Structure 1
Amino acid sequence: MRIILLRHGQSLGNVDELAYCRIPDHSLPLTEVGERQAREAGPRVKRLLDGERVAVYVSPYVRTRSTLRHLDLGGQAERTVAEPRLREQDWGNLQDPVQQEVLKHQRHAFGHFFFRLPNGESGADVDDRLAAFLTDLEARMREPGHPATALVVSHGLTIRLLCRRLFGWSIELFESLSNLDTCEDRVLANAGGEWRLDRPFDQWRASPDGEAQGPIG
């Protein structure tokens, strides 16, 4: 079994933080750069598939669905499921620009995992819904006829937390990891009942508890 994790292409929110103040997070579109990134990621994803069928699970946000469309997987995508549990962390409706900056500083000081956004989610909330998604996904992938590979098109923090949950990484390690770049991927492979990550995430600091990413390879 394999899971290919792909972050969406560059979105309007990645280049204009004030966009979150006037456009709902789920409606933020890709930029022209993001569309190009997604088109360029298409051949890379197809090489990873090497002709295999794939089941696609995609966050229902506009930027993730647009990324998937620009990949142009054609008939290789046997099934496509818009999965709300793969959405980005909910910051709570339209954001006020002043409060947005205050919350970012508070979140950094408090810790990204436990800090609860007013009217939104904590990282722990996202972790909980991803645990349920992973349980369902692993069960589906063992069903007869389900492709051996799943493509998950999602968001930066969501992908980090999905790996944290799957590998049982510590919260300290999770908070030390950087998001994937836009349209960057990671591949998770299961052989002999053990999941392995093809290559580590970038880290902006060593984990305070000394834990390292793994297993890798």
Structure 2
Amino acid sequence: MIDAAARPKRIVLLRHGESAGNIDPGIYEVVPDHALELTERGREQSERAGRELRDLFGTEHVTAFVSPYRRTRETFRLLGLDPERTRIREEPRLREQDWGNIQQLTDMGQQKAARDAYGHFYYRFTHGESGADVYDRVGAFLETMHRDFARHAVRYGPDRNILLVTHGLTMRLFCMRWFHWTVEEFERLSNPGNGETRILLRGPDGRYTLDREFERWK
């Protein structure tokens, strides 16, 4: 186990900017989920997030793990982080919850309604994943991330950052896994907005706290 003070200063979770699927559900009938691009508003959200993150990180080192979906990769590029101080790794385990294949709009609406009734953690899309499946792969990713902590603790020192560019549900499940929230606690929470962050801040004892809570279902 690495020394508490050698753990990264921050773990920043960033949801991608607004994508075409966020404003037009019908696009899922013709474009794969992983191929959806950012809207103009989504690009603006990503650029704004980049300005905030550059101010936050300053001259500190950043290791970025990025979901392989088009919208998350576009979001990362628009952040404009210093390439001399940033390592980037594509991380498929941080992808969106899989629906599976091209969708039919009517079926999507029915499945989302069924998921709301059944529970977002346990409900499994007909050809895709449940929230529990995403939780499991996030748990596997955490093992990789902790090995990264240990590998680079000496090289980059304690004032370094981890950035995860990912999706709303994945962000919630990451925090559920990290903070050992119950399923009931997870179910009460809403996704952050597009281009929003949640930041895990390292305390003097090496433990992390969340900078702000997720909003709750209305």
TM-score (normalizing by structure 2): 0.90
Superposition RMSD in Å: 1.3
Find the counterpart in structure 1 of residue 45 from structure 2. Answer: 37
CA drift of 1:75 comes to: 2.5
Equivalent in 133, 140, 145 of residue 132 of structure 1:
140
Partner letter of residue 213 of structure 2? P
Find the counterpart in structure 1 of residue 3 from structure 2. Answer: none
Q: Distance in 2 between matches of 1:72 and 1:15?
A: 25
Please show how residues 21-36 of structure 1 align to structure 2 within 5 Å. Answer: 21-36=29-44
Deviations 1:127-170 (A, max 9, x none): 00000111210221122325731110000000000000000011
- In structure 1, runs of 5+ residues without a counterpart are 206-217
Find the counterpart in structure 2 of residue 150 from structure 1. Answer: 162
| 8 Å CA contact retained: 2:61, 2:156 | no
Structure 1 stretch displaced more, 36-45 or 76-85: 76-85
Find the counterpart in structure 2 of residue 170 from structure 1. Answer: 182
Q: Distance in 1 between matches of 2:28 and 2:91?
A: 22
Deviations 1:14-61 (A, max 9, x none): 000111111000000000110111111111001111220101100000
Q: Distance in 2 between matches of 1:121 and 1:142?
A: 31
Find the counterpart in structure 2 of residue 18 from structure 1. Answer: 26
Q: Distance in 1 between matches of 2:39 and 2:196?
A: 16
Find the counterpart in structure 1 of residue 4 from structure 2. Answer: none
Equivalent in 62, 66, 71 of residue 54 of structure 1:
62
CA drift of 1:193 comes to: 3.6
Q: Does 1:91 align with 2:104?
A: no
Partner SS state of residue 123, structure 2: coil
Larger relative contact order, structure 1 or 2 (CA cutoff 8 Å, min sep 6): 2
Partner SS state of residue 65, structure 1: helix
| 8 Å CA contact retained: 1:55, 1:146 | no
Aligned length: 205
| 8 Å CA contact retained: 1:6, 1:183 | yes
Find the counterpart in structure 2 of residue 185 from structure 1. Answer: 197
Q: Does 1:194 align with 2:207?
A: yes
Structure 1 stretch displaced more, 157-166 or 35-44: 35-44
Q: Post-superposition, which runs of at least 4 consecutive aligned residues in structure 1 deviate over 2 A? A: 74-78, 144-148
CA drift of 1:195 comes to: 1.9
Structure 1 stretch displaced more, 190-199 or 21-30: 190-199
Partner letter of residue 140 of structure 2? A
| 8 Å CA contact retained: 2:98, 2:129 | yes
Identity fraction in percent = 47
- In structure 2, runs of 5+ residues without a counterpart are 1-7
Q: Does 1:3 align with 2:11?
A: yes
Q: Distance in 2 between matches of 1:77 and 1:56?
A: 11
Partner SS state of residue 142, structure 1: helix
